[in-house]
Structure formats: C-alpha cells, structure tokens
C-alpha cells in the first residue's frame, strides 16, 4: 500500500513514514500478520482524540467570544463525534489505506464507520508526534471546522441528549443520568447498552458501538417515550 499517495492527497509530508502507516493499522491486521513490525493504532488514537478536542475548543473559544459555554460545548460535540469524523475520513479516502484483517475488510456499516473515526483520531496523533501542533491545527481547520457553519445553520448540534436534558430539567426538574447496563463483544468491537434514568426510574435504553452512541440512542428513545420530541 503506497502511503505517499495518501500524503499527496492530504497535502502532508511525514518525516517518519512508519508512524503514518501505524495510524492506519487496525488491531485485527496484526492478528493475521504477526511479523508486521509496527504496533496497531490505538495509542495514537488516544493521543489524537485529545489533540482534536483541544484544537476545536481553542478555535471555538477564540472565534465566538460572544457565545456561552453551553453553545460552544454543543458545537464541539457535533464536530468531534464519531459520525462527523467518519464522514470526513470517508471523504478523504481513508478506506483505501486501512490495514485490516480479511474479516474486517469485508465488514461495512457501523463496524467500518467506527474504524474510520478511530483512524481519523490516530492520524492526528501521528501528525502531532511527527510535526507538532501547528500542522494538526491547519488540518483540523481545513477538514473538520469547515463543517461548523452548516451545523449551526441546521441546528444539528442540538442532539437528543441535549434536548432530553433541557426537557427533563424544564418539565420535572431532574437532570438525566446514564448508566451502562451491558457490554458485549471483543475490545475492538464492543457493543454497549446504556440506560437513561430520571432519578431512579429507567426511562429508555439505547445500543451503540460506543458509550456516546448508546447514550444518544437512549436519549432519542426517551424523548419519544415521554412525547417530548414534538
């Protein structure tokens, strides 16, 4: 797989070519290629997650001085969630460069979306280590922050969790809380079932490939159950 093609496509130039390759290496690939000299991308993903959040937070803070913390928090959540990062990764052609096991390569849908979002984070972790904060900042501004005007225009930053919290506080003066009810599957492909509670009362459950996704699904279901989605 020629990662120089990806570098040209993204307008990047890595000093350490291996760290770029590692960013696209899924855990499953190592299971079938035990002699592969690099590690999988999960540590880079951990670092990249923090880098992305800091850069997005910094831009929002500086660019919207008149906005309250609540709005900025919601906008950030809409920019750094898995769905958005998957969309950006797909648009940049990441699918063509993923190093996966044969089984994972055949998978699509949510499993592939989850891998793409994680790879986007891993790439930013690799960029940070290879060339520092500035290159990451420019990349995020070009490929992720450009989506903010549409998010604001459509109001899509008001996710189900935010809506359910607003309605619950207004109608019953309770802040919802979320608890993981069940986890299934291997570490790299977990499924979470999360319950949303008002006090001790379980209102609804939601399922997802991340806790965030499961919480959002639970909140959406709770809005429908309570007829607060009108």
Active site residue 121: yes
For every residue of 164-230, DSSP letters joined together read HHHHHHHHTS---EEEEEEEES-GGG-EEEEEEEETTEEEEEEEESSHHHHHHHHHHHHHHHTT---
- From 45, 49, 159, 213, the catalytic residue: 49
Nearest to 131 by CA among 15, 46, 50, 39: 15
Query: Using CA atoms, how far apart are residues 47 and 39, in angstroms rounded to an integer?
Result: 15
Active site residue 18: no
At residue 187's C-alpha, the angle toward residues 184 and 188, to 5°, is 110
Nearest to 147 by CA among 225, 49, 77, 54: 77
- From 45, 104, 121, 215, the catalytic residue: 121
Nearest to 210 by CA among 103, 121, 105: 121
Catalytic residues: 49, 121
């Amino acid at each position: 797989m020629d990662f120089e093609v990806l570098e040209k496509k993204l307008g990047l130039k890595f000093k350490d070519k291996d760290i770029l390759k590692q960013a696209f290496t899924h855990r499953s690939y190592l299971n079938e290629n035990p002699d592969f000299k690099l590690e999988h991308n999960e540590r880079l993903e951990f670092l990249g997650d923090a880098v992305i959040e800091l850069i997005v937070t910094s831009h929002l803070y500086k660019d919207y001085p008149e906005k309250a913390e609540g709005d900025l928090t919601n906008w950030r959540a809409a920019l750094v969630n898995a769905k958005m990062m998957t969309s950006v990764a797909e648009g940049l052609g990441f699918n063509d460069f993923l190093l996966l096991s044969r089984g994972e390569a055949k998978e699509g849908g949510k499993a592939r979306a989850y891998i793409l979002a994680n790879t986007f984070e891993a790439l930013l972790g690799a960029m940070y280590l290879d060339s520092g904060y500035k290159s990451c900042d420019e990349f995020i501004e070009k490929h992720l922050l450009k989506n903010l005007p549409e998010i604001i225009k459509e109001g899509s930053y008001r996710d189900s969790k935010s809506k359910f919290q607003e309605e619950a506080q207004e109608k019953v003066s309770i802040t919802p809380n979320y608890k993981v009810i069940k986890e299934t599957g291997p570490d790299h492909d977990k499924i979470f079932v999360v319950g949303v509670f008002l006090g001790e009362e379980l209102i609804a459950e939601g399922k997802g490939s991340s806790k965030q996704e499961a919480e959002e699904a639970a909140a959406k279901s709770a809005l429908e159950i309570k007829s607060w989605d009108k």
